[in-house]
Amino acid sequence: MISFRRRFHSTALAETGLYADWGTGVKIKSYLSNIYREVCKDTGGKNESSKLIVVVRLLTLVMLVYTLATCILSLLSGHRGGVAFYLVSLVFFIVIFIMSYKYSTFVSYCILNVYILAWVFANIICFGWNIGVQLFLITLLLFCYFSRYRHEPAKVCYSILLIWLRIFLYYYCQNHSPIITLSPIINDAFQIVNTLAVFGSISIIAYIFSTDTQTLEGKLIEYNEKLQQQAHTDTLTGLYNRRRTMEYLDGLFHSATSQISICLCDIDFFKKVNDTYGHDVGDVVLQTLSQTFRQELPKDCFISRWGGEEFLLIFPQLNGDEAVSALETLRQKIKSIVFDGGTETFSVSMTFGLVEYDYRSDLNSLLKQADEKLYIGKESGRDRIVF
């Protein structure tokens, strides 16, 4: 039955043409993958960039396509000399591509550069300045600075050579007519093809050599963000730590435009929890209460672990009475949580010391007042809000 279904499925696909299309798509994908692997094949040179040889080959392929296009343009324009010139150029670029698998990366790079320089010179002598082939000198200039690590003096000297060559060719064309005169339409067509080839070459160079830089930069940004988060976050609870809290309060007080309420609170008899059930259970209590803070308090409430079992809650938009209401809901919720102590279950309570910013007191005074009210709450029976 299964075999029949498979035969039917294959037959149906073949009849609809889907099977053939799928197989063709796989073959094309496999063929392109093989080409990509061949282009990326390393020549094995010691201490040489694997990316450089890839760029050399890709640029050679771009020049092959470009030369083929210009050969067709010359053929359409009826210039046999142009056809012969670009056919010879085509053969040379094919040879350079093959040589990139025979020689070291740097040798292949030098061969390609020397030939493109000679090729640009010959192009301008034959067809003149207006076809725009001098733009390839910009490609070589960019390629030079990405090609090798350091070697700044050599790069500067090569840059000067390219600049001098471009100026020389410009003034040469002012005083000499090209060997082959092209019609304005063919000139324009050459300009378009040259522009596409040059911008394509520059894009390939910039993309391949900048990918790693962008990736590393992105990883560095992510790493710095992670470090910053770790520096500002309590590891156990995921809440802000004391350092980040002081930074936040300092900024908040300097730009205060509304009511601010600050609450210092801690877990009642937390030492007894650790002594009775162990520190692992105590950690679970701290984590659970931290999650409860996030769920029950207003979204703009700044929640931090002040130290040990103490927490600091900052309400940037609430006055004292409004903060009391929010804290009362939190207090009741905390009392309803049941923890597993292993041999038995238990619950905890919290005491809260709340102060309201009076626009006169400094930060240290407010924190001291909150601590004093927390102490009053502890002394008067715990599990309460003192405001």
Catalytic residue among 152, 222, 309, 310: 309
Q: What is the DSSP string of 38-99?
A: HHT-----TT--HHHHHHHHHHHHHHHHHHHHHHHHHHHHT-HHHHHHHHHHHHHHHHHHHH
Angle at 372 between CA 273 and CA 260, to 5 degrees: 100
| Residue 178 amino acid letter | P
- The crossing angle, in degrees rounded to 10, of helices 136-147 and 184-232 is 30
d(CA 49, CA 51) in angstroms, rounded, equals 5
Residue 328: CB atoms within 10 A of its CB come to 13
d(CA 181, CA 126) in angstroms, rounded, equals 8
d(CA 65, CA 201) in angstroms, rounded, equals 12
Catalytic residue check, 225:
no
Report the catalytic residues: 309
